[in-house]
Amino acid sequence: MVPSPESLATKDHTSSVRSSRAGEAGQKPDTGNIEEAESSLRESGCLNYEEARALLGRYEYQKGNIEASLHVFEGIDIASVTPKLKLALAERVQTQKRRSRSFSTPPLSINAASLLLEAVFLKAKSLQALQRYKEAAQSCTVLLDILESSLPAGLPETFATDCKLQDTLNKAVELLPELCKLADAPQEAIMAYRRALLHQWNLDIQTTAKIQKEFAIFLLYSGGESCPPNLQSQMDGSFVPRNNIEEAILLLMILLRKISLQRIEWDPSILDHLSYALSISGGLKTLARKVEELLPRTIDRQEMSLILALCYYGGGDDFTALNLLRKLLSSTEDHTCVPSLLLASKVCAESPDCASEGIIYAHKAIERLQERCSHLLGVANCVLGLSLTAHSRTVLTDSERVKIHSDALKSFESAGKLTKMSDTNVIYHLCLENAEQRKLDVAVHYANWFLKLEGGSTLKGSMLLARVLSAQKRFLDAETVINVALEQSGKWDHGELLRTKAKLQIAQGQVKNAIETYTQILAILQVQRKSFRLGEDLKEFGDHCRTLELETWLDLASIYIKLSQWRDAEKCLSKTEAISSYSACRLYTAGLLNQSKGLYKAALGDYSNALAVNPSHVPSLVSSAVVLRKIGKQSPAIIRSLLTEALRLDRMNASAWYNLGLLYKEGGLGSAAEAADCFEAAIILEETEPVEPFR
């Protein structure tokens, strides 16, 4: 070795000795690395200053002497050797392309270049160990900049046989995003991830998959929003993610595709993260398709059935979800799977025709959970209560219905005790059940408790409390609750709250104020239409907006009908025709308009059309009975059948009880005592009727 005035032997001897003594128990040096240095020495005839520092620094780093290694690495003037590194790498690629020796001698051998670039990487690792993350990221960026500019097409495969440059590159590409995250630079981390995945680094498939997974996790849970990627190589018409969620979903789907092609091993966490991403973005049916594409035995069959059932249920396809669950629960392998039993019971509870089946599933889950998880047992009792409530709507006798309602309330109360009154879903249904049984003081207590658990910021809780208060005829208090909710919520959430507020104003006789409130709703909906382009991913939001707009115009039409302002009512109805011309509510309101004009036959036709669209539309059943009674051409038995059907569907309908009482009084179908009972029920229900249904 040719001595130098700045010899390492004189400059760094003391620190080297100290670090060597301090790290005697550290890691043994890699003999392969020393062989690389010897190879470089043989090629060039001498080991220059930078190479010697790189070798010594690596030696100290391997022994665990981080500060000593960093001190050595910092003595390398990487800026001065960068042109040589670029030229050496580019010359090596050109030489391999020509498949012959070049007559020009490169300034550095490939082993020397590999040694120096590894020194830059180890410097970044040393800075990371010392928690100097920003400097570490800068050092790692320098390394990648050199390689990217020198090798735009990536490292040739033959490099791996000559030196460990590819290994250094793999580690640096992985390290840079982690350093940016540690330095609290989320945008730089996202750019580093995209750089790692979009540039031709010739990474192996396992390294690429690892980076894709880490990037997707960062996009999902970092809490920030990044700019969409600017892909210069993007083909026309191909998909470009618009936000973090879409980019994460794209990455996770790519990983699932690699698993299906058996290029990488099965990783359950990939499906977990994709499930979360698609759940919050409304893509549950897409998730179902991806799960179905998985190869057999990749995932447990029972777990797959449960995931698919959850996806279809969340996507609104209850029928498919229930069939999957029935098939799973009827198998002899695991017919007592608690999550499947609970989900099956919940799905059945949403359909009165299947409610009795849901009760069976809930009882099985409760039996399975005895003396196990108390919270899950509470959830099972809550699901049982839901199934019992749904089943009560199909029961014919009053005595049986009262018993079922009592059992449902007991189930909800048991659920509350088992969950220590901390489960908001249980509390919400406790409030609903008590409200429907007209135990309004208890319902107010549970509604307030629900809002307390939710931090007072949920629209569902505020609207439920307002409805219960309106049933107590505390309209001012109910309006105050709605006003507070309006202040605490975003503009796009004001529609439902304002509709409830308008009905409270009508109940107080403030018709002009109610009309102004409905006008505010229509203004909000108009702004929403201009602000959002409702694509497939926003279909559910668009349906909700159209439903709210339809209800608002129909409420306005009902107000004008009561005020005998026929033209205004007709204008409102004409607005609804473009939204949903075959809506049962729209046809019913048209019937009210004709009925108020005295056009009973036309009104009866509208009510019949409404029942043809929805045979369970209670207001149309009641109004049909009223019109038939006024016309007087139908037998009382037909009128009574309409009213009893309405009461079967809604036992709390005061108008149905009142008209049934009139029929008993006038038609001779019932006794005076029965008529009195009907009138009494109508009075009690009218006194506790909310401005909107509790459910």
Residue where the block lists tokens 């001065």: 80
Query: Please, what is the angle between helix 338-349 and helix 355-369, to 10°?
Result: 150
Mean pLDDT to the nearest integer, 37-44: 48
pLDDT in tens, 498-546: 999 999 999 999 999 999 999 999 998 888 777 655 444 445 556 778 8
What is the four-CA torsion angle of 47, 49, 50, 56, rounded to 10 degrees?
80
The confidence score (pLDDT) of residue 655 equals: 93
Computed over every residue of the chain, the mean pLDDT equals 83
Residue 394 has pLDDT above 50, yes or no: yes
For residues 145-153, average pLDDT: 82
| Long-range pairs, 597-601, Cβ under 8 A, ≥24 | 597/566, 600/627, 600/630, 600/631, 601/631
Find, among 532, 524, 458, 466, the residue nearest to 495 by Cα: 524
pLDDT surpassing 90 at residue 109: no
pLDDT at 515: 93
**For residue 26, is pLDDT > 90?**
no
Q: What pLDDT shows up at residue 7?
A: 35
- Which residues, at least 6 apart from 510, have a Cβ–Cβ distance to it below 8 Å? none
Strand, helix or coil for residue 492: helix
Q: What's the pLDDT tens digit per position in 635-676? A: 788 889 999 999 988 888 999 999 999 888 886 666 788 889
Q: How far is the C-alpha of 42 from the C-alpha of 61, rounded, in Å?
A: 24
Q: Which residue has the higher pLDDT, 64 or 230?
A: 64
Tell me: pLDDT of 458 over 90: no
Q: Where are the domains of the chain?
A: 615-694
- Chain-centre distance for alpha carbon 46: 62
Cα dist. 430→349, 388, 413, 423, 450 in Å?
Answer: 16, 13, 7, 11, 10
Rounded distance between C-alpha atoms, residue 118 and residue 46, angstroms: 19
Structural tokens at position 692: 């909107």
Q: How confident is the model at residue 22 (pLDDT cuts 50, 70, 90)?
A: very low
> What are the CB-based long-range contacts (under 8 Å, 24+) for 507-516?
507/470, 507/475, 507/691, 508/475, 508/476, 511/559, 511/563, 514/559, 515/556, 515/559
What is the tens place of the pLDDT at every residue in 469-479? 999 999 999 99
Work out the average pLDDT over 53-71.
88
Question: What is the spatial distance between Cα 267 and Cα 435, in angstroms, rounded to a whole number?
Answer: 47
Question: How confident is the model over 176-220, as pLDDT tens digits?
Answer: 999 999 999 988 999 999 988 888 888 889 999 999 999 999 999
Name which of 402, 407, 478, 408 is nearest 440 in CA terms: 478
Q: Largest Cα–Cα distance of the chain, in whole Å?
A: 125
pLDDT given for residue 47 in this prediction: 60
Q: Residue 454: count other Cβ atoms within 10 Å of its Cβ.
A: 16
Provide mean pLDDT across the span 307-327. Answer: 89
Closest CA to 472 of 524, 522, 435: 435
pLDDT of residue 235: 52
> Could you tell me if 271 and 298 are in contact, meaning their C-beta atoms sit under 8 angstroms apart?
no
CATH architecture under which domain 615-694 falls: Alpha Horseshoe (1.25)
pLDDT digits (tens, 9 = 90+) for 276-304: 998 888 888 888 888 888 877 778 888 88
Confidence of residue 445 (pLDDT cuts 50, 70, 90): very high
Percent with pLDDT over 90 in the chain: 37
Higher pLDDT, 25 or 114: 114
HEC sequence for 531-542: HCCCCHHHHHHH
Please report the pLDDT score of residue 232 as a whole number.
52
Q: How many CB atoms lie within 10 A of CB 545?
A: 20
* Predicted pLDDT of residue 536: 42
pLDDT digits (tens, 9 = 90+) for 550-605: 999 999 999 999 999 999 999 999 998 888 878 899 999 999 999 999 999 999 99
Axis crossing angle, helix 440-453 with helix 424-436, rounded to the nearest 10 = 160
